[in-house]
Amino acid sequence: MAVLIFRLPYLIGSEPLVYETDWLLIGEALNSGKILYKDLVTPISPLAAWVYMIIEFIFGKSILALQILSVLLVTYQFSLFNNIMLRNKAYNENSYIPALIYALLMFTFYDFFTLSPALISLTFIMLVLDNIYLRIENKLQDATILKTGIFMGLAVLFYLPSIFFLIATILSFALLTSLVLRRYMLFLYGFIFPIAIAMIYFYWQNGLDAFIFQWIKFNLFDSVNPVIDLQSILLIIAIPSLIFFVALYKTFSAKRFTNYQLRVQQVMFIMFLAAFGSWWISEKQAPYELLVFVPSFSFFIIHLIFQFRNKLRAEIFTLIFSITLIAINYSIFYQNSPLHNFGNFNALKSNQSIYHDLVKDKSVMILGGSTDLYKSVKEIGTEYYDPKLSMKILTEMSEKEQLMALFDDIQNNQPEIILDFTGTFTNIHEKLVFQNLKYRQINKETYVRN
């Protein structure tokens, strides 16, 4: 209930974020019959796309639905985190402080409040973490090892940068437990199983090559395209990071932990390194992708709180930390403090474009523009949806291949409006084949079907 109350001002007065609009547009396109990757070029992870398809089918393009579902998932996560820490005796005392700090760090920035792929993936990563601790205590059975691999595979299918947590899990097993080769293979089999099912599905849909290129290759090996600058990110994470590094030092320098607790701490540090790698390769490096740091930050900050000998000081520290974090979040959200001047946070908001009236309730093809431009259209009239990925695909074609690809795309989708911000369509629209499509140019980048 407290999570809902603190988020209520945002739920009531928030504007859509660019990626919230993007996710629901993808869901709407899939509900219209398009096949992911084959008919809609996008680097989104498959399970995330299908979740947004279900949400759009039930609630329409409702941003509020994403935010309410996020509240429910975060409530489950901090309860799960608290139970994991208590059950595995990670601390020298039992309390609800782990749940409190986890929930608090979910207020670091206001785009943490939506149902993002990173948030969904984090749920499965925490289930994996719980099983790592069970392995340290030699309580893990073969079936649980297999299930751990499946959880990891699902985490990756929701958010590909989570692949670093696969490496972290294997390192934790190798360095801190005595897992036999058969169980490593069982874990990897569990990991591969859900991914193999996804690959079989796209193979049946004649979209396996597109799946591999758009989801795996593009996300892992192509350059990132940050949605906001590094200064803005540093402003968001400054206070939690400062407290985290103090907590890290205090925890590893303390000498009152059991061997088991030291292993638990080592696992959480490995998870912190995995979170850093995950964020580093994320395509947008958006604030919500920092969510993967929440478990490791929470773990060590809780240790710092428990090391206060005076309980009153611990309570005062927790109160000040809580007020500071929430105050910074809402001061940036409401733009009512100088903090907003140090970041380009308006870039996160989905604003109405100058093309709104032109494209409203029409089938539209956009080359090179933001996906945000599609939010008022009747339907996405092209397979080339994601601008960066689409341009990579088109520019790697020869002129003849590009001409044929665009012609087929226009014939299949019949867009009423074409907005070409790249010059790709403009450079070749005079070709005879495009004259037959009967589009007329009304300004530099806009074409209308006769």
Domain positions in the chain are 2-342, 356-449
- 405 Cβ partners below 8 Å, 6+ apart? 394, 397
Alpha carbons within 13 A on the beta-carbon side of 250: 16
CB 302 within 8 A of CB 96: no
d(Cα 193, Cα 153) in Å, to the nearest integer? 7
Alpha helices in 32-106 (DSSP H): 46-59, 63-87, 97-105
Residue from 109, 10, 4 nearest 63 by CA: 10
**What is the structure's pLDDT at 223?**
66
**What is the structure's pLDDT at 121?**
96
Q: What are the φ and ψ backbone dihedral angles of 241, each rounded to 5 degrees?
A: -70, -40
Helix (H, G, I), strand (E, B) or coil at 207: coil
Q: For residue 442, what are its two tokens?
A: 């009304």
| Amino acid identity, position 112 | F
Q: Dump pLDDT digits (tens) for 320-358.
A: 998 999 888 888 888 767 777 777 788 888 877 888 888
Alpha helices in 113-159 (DSSP H): 117-136, 142-158
Residue from 63, 51, 48, 53 nearest 13 by CA: 63
Distance of CA 23 to the CA centre of its chain: 11
**What is the structure's pLDDT at 133?**
80
CB 121 within 8 A of CB 77: no
Which DSSP state fits 206? T
d(Cα 9, Cα 218) in Å, to the nearest integer? 37
d(Cα 72, Cα 87) in Å, to the nearest integer? 22
Q: How far is CA 146 from CA 83, 185, 186, in A?
A: 22, 9, 6
Q: What share of the chain is helix, strand, coil (3-state, %, to 5)?
A: 70, 5, 25
**What is the structure's pLDDT at 269?**
94
Strand partners, 420: 367
| Amino acid identity, position 336 | N
Q: pTM for this structure?
A: 0.92
**What is the structure's pLDDT at 243?**
94
Positions of the chain with pLDDT lower than 70, given as ranges:
1-2, 13, 136-140, 177-179, 223, 336, 429-437
**What is the structure's pLDDT at 37?**
95
**What is the structure's pLDDT at 1?**
64
Residue from 130, 71, 132 nearest 103 by CA: 71
Strand partners, 448: 417, 440
